[in-house]
Chains A and B, each alone.
Chain A
């Protein structure tokens, strides 16, 4: 078999999974897209393993490990998604932007924040 076929398949699947990771709004859908990417990688491993005719079957073993880790990762990932859902009643990724900067200009660094100092004094 021409080696190009599995490799091309793997590349296309990887890109499709990439698109899904970047574009989907539902967090679970993002996880699904990650699975697609991991599968593409697995196809790559197995193809090369067949190509090299490895005695140790490195490619396949690695593919096995990838599958295992992917499963673990999905579990943990879903647990996190559940937590997010509990906090916000939605798993819309676009709504998770607390770490982002707003469009308003930042406060000047030189002005003293009126609530900063009193806290320190009270602690003393």
Chain B
């Protein structure tokens, strides 16, 4: 079974091109900020580090020739979701600033499981796709036009369903978060 080191070593028989370098840098940024999200003691700072993570992910999409997905990521995730999370932090009166004991009782078990998962997954991936390469110069380039075509032709049904889903989620969250001072549930 190959280790990561072997995988890294194997790579050297093809030249590392700039795309890969940038991608690796972006990946490091993503990982670093994700780690900070899950370990920082400040809730607001965790949210801001999440922004960095999401942005790095968007950059990764760009590197993988998925521009529409990248921009949608920025738009929705970074723009809406993080804002939503910040609102949630504010509304639940999470303490702004450092606080003790943000990590729950479960953190040791969680760490173990997470490390195990990491080890397993990475080893699997490296072992399985050791010799695989993504050809970014072929017709894989997915322009927005192409994405739009696929979306509204082949995937129009799931598209509509997702719309209904969004509607349901919207109504649901309104209903859930409504103040029940009328006494009606």
Residues of A within 8 A of B (CB): 1-9, 11-29, 31-33, 35-36, 39, 42-43, 46-47, 49-51, 53, 56-57, 59-61, 63-65, 67-76, 78-83, 85, 91, 93-94
Residues of B within 8 A of A (CB): 4, 7, 11, 14, 17, 19-20, 23-24, 27, 30-31, 34-35, 37-38, 43, 46-47, 50, 53-54, 57, 60-61, 63-66, 68-69, 72-73, 76-77, 80-81, 84-85, 87-89, 91-94, 101-107, 109-111, 113-115, 117-118, 121-122, 125-126, 129-130, 132-136, 138-140, 142, 146-147, 150-151, 154-155, 158, 162, 165-166, 168-170, 172-174, 176-177
Interface of A, helix, strand, loop or mixed by DSSP:
helix
Complex: A91 Cα to B81 Cα, angstroms:
19
Q: How many A-B residue pairs have CB under 8 A?
A: 274
Which residue of chain A has its CB nearest to the CB of B91? A82
Complex: A71 Cα to B76 Cα, angstroms:
7
A4 neighbours in B (Cβ, 8 Å): 7, 11, 125-126, 129-130, 132
